[in-house]
Amino acid sequence: MDPKDETLLPGQRVRARGAGSNAAGRYEATSRLAFDDGWDIPEDDRLLKTELRLERPRSAITYNRSPDLPFDRSINPYRGCEHGCIYCFARPTHAWLNLSPGLDFETRLIARPGIAAVLERELRAARYDPRPIALGTNTDPYQPVEAEHRIMREVLEVLAAFNHPVAIVTKGAMIERDLDILAPMAAKGLARVGISVTTLDAGLARRLEPRAASPARRLGVIGRLAAAGVPVRAMVSPVIPGLTDPELEAILEAARDTGATAASWIMLRLPLEVSPLFRAWLEEHVPDRAAKIMARVREVHGGKDYDPEWGRRMRGQGIWSDLIGQRFDKAVRRLGLTVPQPPLRTDLFAPPPRAGDQLSLF
């Protein structure tokens, strides 16, 4: 069902949310459609609020074999993301939970307390081979609920105790809270951070990413991380052709000026349920450009809303993809953002001693 055909329940209101609908996910046998039943009893006016459920994690590290990803393992402290970015490629994962990739993804969240203890157990396994762990590659570990639950911080405490390398991606300013952990890790070559900046237009950002930190705040985060000695990469991600791509050079320059030492970009991806959600967003927020933007999106994905093929899904193909890539390459050379970041160290990895462990003689 197209999200435009799905309405909120009578009396429900949304505020600062990316999606405007809550269509059932692809695994559901039924769908919902709100309608006026003719009764004259007025419905209560109620705001759609964030709900949080808890999950007891059985595993912490998720492994992948994707040849176009620079990491083979990651950790997800949360399922769903309150930032509500309308373009988020992770939205379809909520369908696995029998929840909607629409409003459910940003309002019905799942936290995984205890995942740090599970992580410690996995890192102590005799056969564990340390390689950098990625955090924030699916849903943001520094979304608003982290302020109360502090699951991300617990994960970092374990990684720091083991001298385990970590790479973090976020739009959240809350990462500044954990500088007391990240700065010492970075000094050992164990930590780096990518800050995603989609646009410098605060109004557009508020509509695209309603509960994420503002563009100016994210640039400030880059500055604070850099000042603390944490290597920071500016991620122009996603580039939305016809909407945000004109800002590519300006974003890179602003990030460089605040302390970023490296940069990357990723083309907009619209897998599964994300495509109709994004098309509905365009019709609501930029109706005069909606058709042009989607035409450009299809051009870079071989005539489809999205091409999931490895090697093409991150960059797209064709003239517009090539043009954005050339602009990026020229900009990073001009701005000095081409210096490669040193690889994260794995040679320092060592499980810390536990109470009652037998001490080594050597």
Q: What is the pLDDT of residue 316?
A: 96
What pTM was estimated for this model as a whole? 0.93
Query: Can you tell me whether residue 173 is helix, strand or coil?
Result: helix
Q: What is the pLDDT of residue 355?
A: 76
Two tokens, residue 229: 């000695």
Token pair 């570990």: residue: 141
Q: What is the pLDDT of residue 41?
A: 56
Three-state SS annotation for 316-339: CCHHHHHHHHHHHHHHHHHHCCCC
Which burial class, exposed, middle or buried, applies to 288 when counting CB atoms under 10 A from its CB (0-12, 13-18, 19+)?
Answer: exposed
Integer angstrom CA distances of residue 90 from 61, 100, 277: 17, 12, 13
Q: What is the pLDDT of residue 42?
A: 55
Q: What is the pLDDT of residue 3?
A: 42
Distance of alpha carbon 20 from alpha carbon 13, whole angstroms: 10
Q: What is the pLDDT of residue 360?
A: 57
- Write the pLDDT tens digit of every residue in 181-240: 999 999 999 999 999 999 999 999 999 999 999 999 999 999 999 999 999 999 999 999
Q: Domains along the chain?
A: 49-335 (3.20.20.70)
Q: What is the pLDDT of residue 46?
A: 80
Distance of alpha carbon 9 from alpha carbon 4, whole angstroms: 14
Q: What is the pLDDT of residue 31?
A: 76
Per-residue pLDDT of the chain (362 residues; tens, 9 = 90+): 344 445 566 667 889 999 999 988 888 877 766 666 666 555 556 889 999 999 999 999 999 999 989 999 999 999 999 999 999 999 999 999 999 999 999 999 999 999 999 999 999 999 999 999 999 999 999 999 999 999 999 999 999 999 999 999 999 999 999 999 999 999 999 999 999 999 999 999 999 999 999 999 999 999 999 999 999 999 999 999 999 999 999 999 999 999 999 999 999 999 999 999 999 999 999 999 999 999 999 999 999 999 999 999 999 999 999 999 999 999 999 999 998 888 999 999 999 998 777 665 55
- Write the pLDDT tens digit of every residue in 59-95: 999 999 999 899 999 999 999 999 999 999 999 999 9
Q: What is the pLDDT of residue 9?
A: 65
